[in-house]
Amino acid sequence: MTIPSRQEAQKLFADIAAKLDVCDLQQGKEPQTSRIHFQNVASCAYKIAAKISHLDEEKAYILGLLHDYGQLEETLDKNKFHGTAGYDLMMQKGYDEVAKICLTHSFPEYDFKPERFTYNQKEVIRARKIINNLTYDDYDLLIQYSDMLSCGKKITDLKSRIKYILKTYHTTRTDAKIRYKTMLKIKHHFDTLCGKDTYKLLGITND
Ligand SMILES: [Fe+2]
């Protein structure tokens, strides 16, 4: 499994973030929402990984920084899905470990049903098939968790994030409940591994 160096990851991030800055403004979002989201996911992943002996915080940072690398493709073309777009781009560069994260971060429920998702169905079904041949490890879970905590430009608790998802993405209440339950399990997993409440570790107080 291969990932880029921190320097190379920063270059890839800078390039995609500059393009997404323009898209964010065009879409009326707060300036640099995407850029800050990428950085927040990287920072949460780094801080948690640094407390866990079998995880490498540098690797966690790099995976967090590039987890949404396919976002530009989806922003420019709604028929694309950022998960598979990022997966393809990272595989082309030979960074298979980042490619895996690009795909798995959107699916905390390993046995997900493609029809639950509003992304392009053909692409979600393709993601389902690729994931069937993968095993989730602690890096997959770490980026799923860090991504959930990184809401807009903020780092927030899971309850607030689920409320935001319900408001923003037309998710059903049942799906939101499933996601919340999954994420609480992942939180518990990392709280146990860290020997500390990860909310405290990340300075999250509003739960
Ligand atoms: Fe994300």
What stretches of 67-111 show up as alpha helix (H) in DSSP?
Answer: 71-76, 82-92, 96-104
Q: What is the mean pLDDT of residues 94-118?
A: 95
Q: What is the mean pLDDT of residues 101-106?
A: 97
pLDDT of residue 35: 96
CA distance 194 to 50: 9
Ligand 1 center from residue 142 Cα (angstroms):
12
Tens of pLDDT, residues 22-32:
998 998 888 89
Ligand 1 center from residue 65 Cα (angstroms):
9
Q: Does domain 6-202 have CATH number 3.30.70?
A: no
Element (H, E) at 150: strand 150-151
pLDDT band of residue 196 (cuts 50, 70, 90) is: very high
Ligand 1 center from residue 34 Cα (angstroms):
8
Percent with pLDDT over 90 in the chain: 86
pLDDT of residue 82: 97
pLDDT band of residue 9 (cuts 50, 70, 90) is: very high
- Three-state DSSP at 194 gives helix
pLDDT of residue 151: 92
Ligand 1 center from residue 149 Cα (angstroms):
10
Please calculate the CA angle 120-94-19 and round it to the nearest 5 degrees.
55
Task: Using alpha carbons, select from 81, 63, 65, 62 the residue that is nearest to residue 73.
Answer: 81
Residue 189 has pLDDT above 90, yes or no: yes
pLDDT of residue 171: 78
CA distance 173 to 61: 32
Ligand 1 center from residue 146 Cα (angstroms):
8
Tens of pLDDT, residues 44-57:
999 999 999 999 99
HSE (side-chain half, CA atoms, 13 Å) at 165: 24
Ligand 1 center from residue 54 Cα (angstroms):
24
Q: What number of other Cβ atoms are within 10 A of residue 153's Cβ?
A: 16
Sequence-distant (6+) residues with CB within 8 A of 127 are: 81, 83, 84, 87, 103, 106, 107, 114
Would the pTM of this model clear 0.85, i.e. be above it?
Answer: yes
Sequence-distant (6+) residues with CB within 8 A of 164 are: 151, 152, 156
Ligand 1 center from residue 133 Cα (angstroms):
23
Ligand 1 center from residue 38 Cα (angstroms):
6
Q: Is there a contact between 38 and 67 (Cβ–Cβ < 8 Å)?
A: yes
pLDDT of residue 207: 54
Ligand 1 center from residue 72 Cα (angstroms):
12
Residue 206 has pLDDT above 70, yes or no: no
Percentages (nearest 5) of helix, strand, coil residues in the chain: 65, 0, 30
Paired strand residues for 151: 154
In this structure, what token pair is assigned to residue 166?
A: 């319900």
Ligand 1 center from residue 83 Cα (angstroms):
10
In this structure, what token pair is assigned to residue 53?
A: 């002996």
Ligand 1 center from residue 206 Cα (angstroms):
21
Domain ranges of the chain: 6-202
